[in-house]
Structure 1
Amino acid sequence: MKLLLITSIAEFEKDVCNLFKTSEIVVYSSSDIQGHKFFNGNNIQDNWFSAHRDSFDSKLYFSFTSEDKIETIFKNIEVFNSQKKTENSIKAVVLDIEKFIN
């Protein structure tokens, strides 16, 4: 069993849900989160009065699932990200589960 964690901007919520569906991961949870990004600007005018947005309405998704479904959703996320022109791609990570109570 693996723990899959996915983050995305809120605008991609329907897309991420579709990725779970097409990857046959039928049980997952989600939560609203606030993503933050610090912009490094050498020139103060580049970020005067927060010219660059530094926080984003985001979503966190997680699911306990099998490794074969992880491979499928990772491939689907890679395809999705390659087709979108955005700095806020969908991100995913997998953690091994050593012990659990069911």
Structure 2
Amino acid sequence: MKLLMITAIEVFEKDIKFLLKKAAITHFSYSDVKGYRDLTQESVGDNWFASEMNESQSIIFYAFVPKEKADDLFNSVAEFNKQQRTLSKVHIVVLNIEKSN
């Protein structure tokens, strides 16, 4: 059993749901979250909006799945990210579960 965690900007919500369905992951949870990026180390020329604190509307998905489904989804997300022309990507982690009930 694996725990999947997926984070992305809110715009990718429908895409992530499609990828989950494609991987035959039918049970998952998700929630809106605020993404945060500290831009204090960037020069003013690189920081278009000249703000030190940048928050974005984001989402996080959780799912407990068998290893095979986790691998399939991980590969699908990697392929999805390759096709994106935006700087923002879908981030996925797969964690081992030692015990569950």
Letter in 1 for 2:34: Q
Gaps of 5+ in 1: none
Q: TM-score under structure 2 normalisation?
A: 0.88
Q: Following the alignment from structure 1 to structure 2, what is the Cα–Cα distance between the partners of residues 95 and 45?
A: 35
Q: Residues 48 and 28 (structure 1 numbering): CA distance in 2 closer, same or farther, change over 3 Å?
A: closer
Gaps of 5+ in 2: none
Measured after TM superposition, the shift of residue 100 of structure 1 is 1.5
What are the Cα deviations for residues 12-62 of structure 1, in whole angstroms up to 9, with x where unaligned? 000000000001111110010000011222348946752x77111000001
Q: Following the alignment from structure 2 to structure 1, what is the Cα–Cα distance between the partners of residues 77 and 68?
A: 15
Give the aligned partner of residue 43 of structure 2. 42
Give the aligned partner of residue 63 of structure 1. 63
Percent identity of equivalent pairs: 33
- Equivalences, count: 100
Does residue 3 in structure 1 map to residue 24 in structure 2? no
Is 2:31–2:59's contact at 8 Å kept on the other side of the alignment?
A: yes
Measured after TM superposition, the shift of residue 85 of structure 1 is 1.1
RMSD, aligned CA? 2.1
Give the aligned partner of residue 77 of structure 1. 77
Q: Which has the higher strand share?
A: 2
Give the aligned partner of residue 30 of structure 2. 30
Q: Residues 47 and 71 (structure 1 numbering): CA distance in 2 closer, same or farther, change over 3 Å?
A: same
Is 1:41–1:47's contact at 8 Å kept on the other side of the alignment?
A: no
Q: Residues 45 and 73 (structure 1 numbering): CA distance in 2 closer, same or farther, change over 3 Å?
A: closer
Q: Residues 46 and 28 (structure 1 numbering): CA distance in 2 closer, same or farther, change over 3 Å?
A: closer
Q: Following the alignment from structure 1 to structure 2, what is the Cα–Cα distance between the partners of residues 81 and 46?
A: 23
Measured after TM superposition, the shift of residue 75 of structure 1 is 1.0
Q: TM-score under structure 1 normalisation?
A: 0.88
